[in-house]
Structures are given as C-alpha cells and as structure tokens.
C-alpha cells in the first residue's frame, strides 16, 4: 500500500512537468522564425574601428541612382559603402566618414542586394576629392552653395504661388532674410525638383518656386524631412531655417530648412 501511494504521488508530480513540456514543444514546433528585418543604424563616430572599416583600397565601384557604391578592402576584409556620386577609381586608397549601416539593402537601380552596406556622408577630412568638391555636381552636396546642383532642366519654367501665413516666404526671400530667420520656423511652397532619400537618416529635397536666380543659386532650396514626396510634386514645407549650415566634409549650405513637415 505504501509503495502504491509513493508511485501515485510520483506520477502526479510528473504529469504537470510533462504537460508543460508538451505545451512548449508544441509551441516551438508551430512557431515560425521572425522575418528578416531591414534596418538602419548609425555607426558610432567615436570608434576608431568604424573609421578603419571605411578606409582601404577600392576593389570595386559603380555609379547608379545618384550614388557611388564602393567595395573597400583593408587587411583582407571587404566592406561595401555608398556615398553621393563622386569620382572614384579601382585601386584608389580612400577613407570615408562613418555613416549609417543598412542590412539587406536592395538597390533598385543596380538590381543588387547588399548583405551589409554603410551609407557615408563622404570622404574623411583631408581626403583628396575631385576638383568639383566633396562630390560631383550630380549630387546635392559640395561647396558652399544654395542649390545649383538640382537636377531640373534650365529651360523649365517653374511658377508656384507663395504659401500663405506670417511665416511664409518665397525661396528667394529665405536667402535674402536668412540672417534674421536663422533658427526660426518658416513655411515655403514650391515644386520638388530632386529627391535623395535615406541620407543620414532623412530625405533631402530640392524645392523651387520660380523666384530667385539660378546663376546666384538662390532659386533652389534644400529641405530635409522624414516625409518623402516625389519629383514634380507641389508641396508646402514647414521647418526650421539654418543659415550657413556646415555638416563637415565640404557639405555646407548657405540656407537650408531642416526637420520639415511636407504637405501636398
């Protein structure tokens, strides 16, 4: 009788253990692995290892969609990086600024997927670049300027009505009044003539409204935003104006509107 009671207690003790194990086993069997996540993360600029990983010899390069893609080799390790279009040749030694890493990034223009690629803001300080500045004129960066590099036909006639409201300005007015408007909210309405997305975690837009002069560079305004309109859209941008904004590595703007919300 004592042996029977002992066996019964042991059996009752094992039942919940077996049941719990069965539940987890069933759950594990039915669960599907989470889908791959495509994400972007900023590389810590203070890390010397990150800087080194973007230094070395260019073993492969290609231009597409306004970007230059580089395969950089150093100490037997290859790293893919992308910068706004610039002149690079295979065999060239190069050093790039730390940037944003993207995993499983697909370039539609190249029809190629990169397991890992770093989007850099451009060459490191002191790095030789093309005679046109940090990047070629096909990019939206370069020497101090307004927006002469916007990809819009010089023959295109743009005429967009100015936005309404006390903080509303035409593009040329933002240049003329940039000193008094520095670090203030402004509203501007215009036509999107160029878009570069996902650079330094934001989208870079060129907006024109027909005011200003192309030769002077005060006809084109660079706007950064999380919103992503398309070229040709007529939009109203509300953001903070900055005068003489310098991002380093030759990326300097006489006038730029940042953190803008975009409405069509």
Q: For 104-125, what is the mean pLDDT? A: 85
Report the share of the chain in percent with pLDDT over 90: 43
Out of 87-101, 138-152, 235-249, which region has the weakest mean confidence (pLDDT)? 138-152
Q: 96 with 134: CB under 8 angstroms?
A: no
Q: For residue 5, what is the enclosing H or E element?
A: helix 2-30
The span from the CA of 200 to the CA of 257, in Å, is 15
Indicate the domain borders of the chain.
40-120, 171-263
DSSP 8-state code for residue 145: B
Q: Is 254 helix (H, G, I), strand (E, B) or coil?
A: strand
The span from the CA of 234 to the CA of 262, in Å, is 10
Q: Work out the pLDDT band at 248, boundaries 50, 70, 90.
A: low
Higher pLDDT, 232 or 130: 232
Q: 221 with 207: CB under 8 angstroms?
A: yes
Q: 119 with 72: CB under 8 angstroms?
A: no
Q: For residue 184, what is the enclosing H or E element?
A: none
Q: For 131-159, what is the mean pLDDT? A: 45
User: CATH topology of 40-120 equal to that of 171-263?
Assistant: yes
For 2-25, the pLDDT digits (tens) are: 444 444 443 444 333 333 333 333
| pLDDT at 78 (0 to 100) | 94
The span from the CA of 48 to the CA of 140, in Å, is 28
The span from the CA of 235 to the CA of 233, in Å, is 6
The span from the CA of 61 to the CA of 88, in Å, is 7
Q: Work out the pLDDT band at 53, boundaries 50, 70, 90.
A: low
CATH 2.40.50.140 is right for the domain spanning 171-263: yes
The span from the CA of 210 to the CA of 228, in Å, is 22
Tell if the pTM clears 0.95, that is, is over it: no
What's the order of all strands across the beta sheet hosting 67-74?
Answer: 40-42, 99-107, 112-120, 77-84, 67-74, 55-64, 93-95
Q: 223 with 207: CB under 8 angstroms?
A: yes
Work out the end-to-end distance of the chain between its first and last CA atoms, rounded to an integer number of angstroms. 85
State which fold the 40-120 domain adopts: OB fold (Dihydrolipoamide Acetyltransferase, E2P) (2.40.50)
Q: Please check the confidence at residue 242 and state whether its pLDDT lies above 90.
A: yes
């Amino acid at each position: 009788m004592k042996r029977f009671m002992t066996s019964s207690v042991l059996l009752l003790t094992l039942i919940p253990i077996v049941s719990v194990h069965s539940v987890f086993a069933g759950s594990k069997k039915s669960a599907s692995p989470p889908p791959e996540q495509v994400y972007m993360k900023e590389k810590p600029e203070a890390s010397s290892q990150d800087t080194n990983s973007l230094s070395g010899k260019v073993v492969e390069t290609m231009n597409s969609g306004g970007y230059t893609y580089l395969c950089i080799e150093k100490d037997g390790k290859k790293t893919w990086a992308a910068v706004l279009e610039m002149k690079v040749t295979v065999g060239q030694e190069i050093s790039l600024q730390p940037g944003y890493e993207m995993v499983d990034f697909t370039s539609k223009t190249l029809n190629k997927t990169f397991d890992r690629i770093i989007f850099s803001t451009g060459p490191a300080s002191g790095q030789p670049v093309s005679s046109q500045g940090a990047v070629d004129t096909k990019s939206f960066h370069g020497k101090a300027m307004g927006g002469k590099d916007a990809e819009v036909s010089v023959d295109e006639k743009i005429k967009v009505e100015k936005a309404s409201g006390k903080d509303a300005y035409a593009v040329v007015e933002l240049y003329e009044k940039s000193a008094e408007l520095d670090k203030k909210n402004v509203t501007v309405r215009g036509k999107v003539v160029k878009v570069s997305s996902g650079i330094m975690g934001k989208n870079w837009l060129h907006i024109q409204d027909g005011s200003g002069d192309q030769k002077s560079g005060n006809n084109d305004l660079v706007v950064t935003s999380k919103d992503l309109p398309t070229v040709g859209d007529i939009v109203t941008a509300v953001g903070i104006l900055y005068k003489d904004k310098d991002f380093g590595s030759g990326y300097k703007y006489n006038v730029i509107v940042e953190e803008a919300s975009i409405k069509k």
